[in-house]
Structure 1
């Protein structure tokens, strides 16, 4: 066999192995999350609502491409959450080849394969369990990295415009992609300067086409998906958050102070998780500033990583400072690492690239300064932990897992400090230990504790149960007129997620306060109270379904029966003589239609019937019976409205309608339908007269 044939055979075997590994990873990640109830409220509720229940133009968030793609989960019916998880896992594992290809810029095939595999099997895959855009964004981001990090000043304008276009696509998944615009502008400028020694017109041209492509693609896609609303780059939500952060000098000083505190928490966390590659990246970047000549791939990746972190950590810290104290879980110690943890695979790439490139340099002082700075941060965490900071399993999955066990966390902090120290004194083995021991172990421990915490969502809460019950019990037409009340705001969003109607609302009750029915919005038909002792005593004639932990109360007094619905809770106790529901209403299929109401009907009542007659029943007398009272009316072949006035002396609850001449379409030779049709009922409304 020739050398070429052997090479082709190795490539083919490698591809087969990659496909098998990706497929097995897909199944593993998917089975971890399938069956879990929603975990992140209100985020999952909002993303579900804007992608499935409202026109894209009404989206409060500007994630228009995400909305478009995930609107397809509506085809899964009530299983839309599980369907979204299939989408998430598919996009997440599809990032495998792009992480691999970025790694291949600086390391060998086997190492690149290892890095990509560890990354998709690590705690970052927890994002696939949420109805949120993180998995889709992770995929597009690594497509962008693969394409962009191969470019330099010799790359044509078309290549840089394509890079901008990819980032523009990322920004329609999550607007946070715009924070990479200044990073790439600096990347182009610095790369050009290192080649030419000056800032030339070619650098300016590439910067301009890149930036122009980003915004053109963003605006164009936004408009195509959401119309004029798509022109808004940051959407109503982020625009309002930005306006909240504005204020006087004192407010800006306070934001800066809180922002610095938050940023310190992120730096300390990174020094534990990725202290060694962070020190390596800083060293590589520092030496590139002092050296001459073109940037090598290792320096490009380090530059991109460090400046991305600088921008994103600053943005996250200021965001945390601006929302701290806003209620719920928003505290200054909350570590929102999910806004930049899609960069984490790059730490492993930086570390792996250094194994074969440890150089003896006259600038050892850079290694020492950077290494000691990061090791000091790790040592601080060894002695003080992360007191004052709260990594959560949603915001900081890579960190949350290892902080779940104090002893495990202490051990990893100590090892991180030791590895950085060994690297400072010149040991290459510290990088090998970090990449092949520290990283797999930290990710394994983190994933174990993280999965354990997330698995609690396999059991429904009372809010899950209440929302699912309301969704199944109420007709779909009445779900938008449902008000959910309770004391736990996150739980109320959870119930709304299951009710799955854009019109449903919630009201949070203060501790110890009962719900006041007099404040119920006019268009509300049902109140779903979740929790104990939230409602006043039951009134006479009130329809209330009492379940374990929640109550469903009908507050609408409108006694209208829409025959296109499947059920009429709170209005009818039983129905007879009617066929199945059709989009317009129902046909009668026997001689007599019976409607038994839950409550006695008024003494003097007005009955409005909307319907039509079938075949020989057109124009014939139809009798409506209410106790001893009778009334006659007739219906034509087209839908029409009839109004009947009756007296209900015995306060009867049952109405009977006698059909004159039921006949089947089969008997008439019109079709194969064998039902005995008489009249078609669209609506019936009862009012006190």
Structure 2
């Protein structure tokens, strides 16, 4: 009853804090909402098919879908506490186990229950995985391996990161079999190999089998299109090139982990270096230590390797600390500390304890100086972002860590309770203040929230996909798209306070939602205009479409005959790889022609003008880093079969830190459409004649 009351209280607090908030994390929340609710599951760019299928149920909530998602997140997060409680009960009394669970659930990582993201579901999955691995139920090792494989397979359909836990799970099972002293040596080897093989085979079978049932053939991809393309785009020439960014990022994670979990790390490291400590712990505690060590090591190692691999995307990537990729292990670390409070007092000083404690104290002192130089924020790591090591509150946390380590190394039983009920509450209080302040800014809503909601309510539902959102920054645009709640809305990313040029007006969309201060071209009158946004119904386009070419496909058929200055085809289109791009068409262009491009600019080219030429005619235009539509009009002699685009400053990703890509990029083109605007020109001419007095 006490446990149920505690979990219910945590759930009530989460719902009180989360319900009614506006969305926060973009692009994540928009992408997950769109993939789960508005698209066929097979078109999802990440292989989170089970999560997307489950949260597709939020469609039943209508416009209140986001609060329904938060209720489900809260139930799953609080439900994970039950599994962690059953794990903790193996090592401690009921009330202490409940205290550990409550501390775990009140940790700042619960901020993810406010987002349309899979973190809370994944947290629940890991709690179930931990229970299957550590429950004292008398299961045979193959049966335990089978169940672990099932849970891992389902977790991989929530977040693909679970695949990186599979080797650690196999090692845990193999070690558990090897330590089975009741069996003969040969039998232990066979059991270890069998258990180590069962878990990954079952996990992959669940991932591909269940994924195929949910999403079809796309689920047969291991990582999904998003992660596969990201890996291909940032692949280093050799693993040696990962060492420098991995060392920098790994150093940051070590400092953050030591600040947050100093005593649990000491207990884990001590179990590694001291055979005596392992013998004194007993088999049950050894299994907990081994499982926690392997899970934390594999998850943190994957995080560091992934961050190092995307370091070429920008100079700040390497100093971002994505703690959310492994904070789900923290409840096990707290259980480990609490278990030390239940052990007999006869342990005296832990062998080699001073050596372990001294090393971690050194890391803590180093963190006081260097950790503030890393990127710490409530999205990547809510636990650490609230601990400011430049203020006295951060010094208090480090001081409590050092004192707890010293007491433990000296053999005092006060070290564990000091960390659990002294340092942890301080860290949780600081983290909660930080996360609450972050979420509080989502209550009143911003311009994109108000504009997106107005467009959703006043544009006919069948025309929601006909809206283009114009604003500064892709995150602001996606925030409005989230509220419009239609999968095919378009974006127009503009410089701050810049006017909208006529060529930037959407040609194939009926509505334009402008967020912020971006003056419209003459002749356009908004349906609704406020200080935050303007909604414009665009005039009908009466031009005649002659053809469209998708640059992701080969040349030679349809509109395009050939091209120069473009690189190889990618899933979305092609990048230019020269100073000039020339497109050759299969038929002459009309005399009054409109060229419609869906394109984007690379790096500095997003701030510079491109030039398009058809015959003697030329015009200049600008693009953003995001794909956007533009329409350029020309008057020709009716004989031109080519157009050219001058790239202002081709630049190589290799020059920006990605040695895997030496191409000189400038403009990326997804598709091109040619229309004949003669009818529009004639209409305008008649209008001008009629208007002459």
CA distance in 1, matches of 2:526, 2:334: 61
> Partner of 1:247 in structure 2?
236
Moved more, 544-553 or 391-400: 544-553
TM-score of the pair, normalised by structure 1: 0.74
Residue in 2 that maps onto 1:548? 531
Report the counterpart of residue 189 of structure 2 in structure 1: 200
Residue 488 (structure 2) aligns with: 503
**Is the alpha carbon distance of 1:294 and 1:211 closer, same or farther for their aligned partners in structure 2, counting shifts above 3 Å?**
farther
- Structure 2: segments with no counterpart, 5+ residues: 543-681, 687-693
- Structure 2 residue aligned with 1:652: none
The Cα shift of 1:558 comes to 5.8
Residue of 313, 317, 321 corresponding to 1:335: 321
The CA deviation string for residues 634-674 of structure 1, in whole angstroms up to 9 with x for no partner, is: xxxxxxxxxxxxxxxxxxxxxxxxxxxxxxxxxxxxxxxxx
Q: Pick from 367, 383, 404: which aligns with 1:381?
A: 367
Given that residues 376 and 385 in structure 2 are in contact (C-alpha distance below 8 angstroms), is that contact kept between their aligned partners in structure 1? Answer: yes
Contact kept in structure 2, 1:74 and 1:80, CA below 8 Å? yes
Inter-partner Cα distance in structure 2 for 1:299 and 1:359: 18
Q: Write the mapping of 1:409-420 to structure 2, written as runs, cut at 5 A.
A: 409-420=394-405
Which residue of structure 2 aligns with residue 76 of structure 1?
61
Q: CA RMSD in A?
A: 2.6
Q: Distance in 2 between matches of 1:152 and 1:89?
A: 28
SS in 2 for 1:233: coil
Q: 1:231 and 1:451 mapped to 2: Cα distance?
A: 40
CA separation in 2, counterparts of 1:428 and 1:550?
61
With over 3 angstroms needed to count, the CA separation of the structure-2 counterparts of 1:434 and 1:292, relative to structure 1, is closer
| 8 Å contact from structure 1 (residues 337, 395) kept in 2 | yes
Q: 1:271 aligns with which of 237, 258, 272?
A: 258
Deviation at 1:312, TM superposition (A): 1.6
Partner of 1:226: 215
Partner Cα distance (2:514, 2:223) in 1? 35
**Which of 487, 491, 515 is equivalent to 2:476?**
491
Match of 1:319 among 300, 303, 306: 306
CA deviation digits over 1:146-173, x for unaligned, max 9?
0112379972423321221111111111
Superposed CA offset, 1:115-155 (max 9, x none): 11121122122111001011111111101110112379972
Q: Is the 8 A contact 1:98 1:143 kept in 2?
A: yes
Specify the alignment match of 1:286 in structure 2: 273
1:278 deviation in Å? Answer: 0.8
Match of 2:457 among 472, 496, 516: 472
Structure 1 residue 547 displacement after superposition: 1.9
The corresponding residue for 2:111 is 126
**For residue 284 of structure 2, what is the aligned residue in structure 1?**
297
Pair 1:238 & 2:227 matched: yes
1:77 and 1:558 map into 2 onto residues whose CA distance is 33
Whether the 8 Å contact between 1:285 and 1:302 is mirrored in structure 2 is: no
Aligned length: 542
CA distance in 2, matches of 1:332, 1:116: 33
Give the drift of 1:404: 8.9
Residues in 1 aligned to 2:252 and 2:336: alpha-carbon distance in whole angstroms = 23
User: 1:412 Cα deviation (Å)?
Assistant: 0.6
User: What TM-score, normalized by structure 2, do the two folds share?
Assistant: 0.74
Gaps of at least 5 residues in structure 1 are 1-15, 560-686
Tell me the distance in 2 between the aligned counterparts of 1:281 and 1:459. Answer: 45
- Partners of 2:519 and 2:275 lie apart in 1 by 68
Aligned to 1:44: 29
Q: For the structure 1 residues 31 and 290, does the alpha-carbon distance in structure 2 shift closer, same or farther, using more than 3 Å as the test?
A: closer
Q: Per the alignment, do residues 120 and 291 of structure 1 end up closer, same or farther by CA in structure 2, a change over 3 Å counting?
A: closer
- Corresponding residue SS for 2:469: strand
The runs of at least 4 aligned residues of structure 1 exceeding 4 Å deviation read: 151-154, 196-199, 288-295, 358-365, 541-544
SS at match of 2:309: helix
Offset of residue 421 of structure 1: 2.0
Please give the alpha-carbon distance, in whole angstroms, between the structure 1 residues aligned to 2:537 and 2:139.
70
Contact 1:485/1:529, CA 8 A, preserved across alignment: yes
Q: Secondary structure at the match of 1:95?
A: helix
In our comparison, the structure showing a higher alpha carbon Rg is: 1
From the superposition, tell whether residues 206 and 171 of structure 1 become closer, same or farther in structure 2 (CA, over 3 Å): same
Please state whether the residue corresponding to 2:486 is helix, strand or coil.
Answer: coil
Q: Please say if residues 153 and 191 of structure 1, whose CA atoms lie closer than 8 Å, have aligned partners that are also in contact.
A: no
Residue 70 (structure 1) shift: 0.6
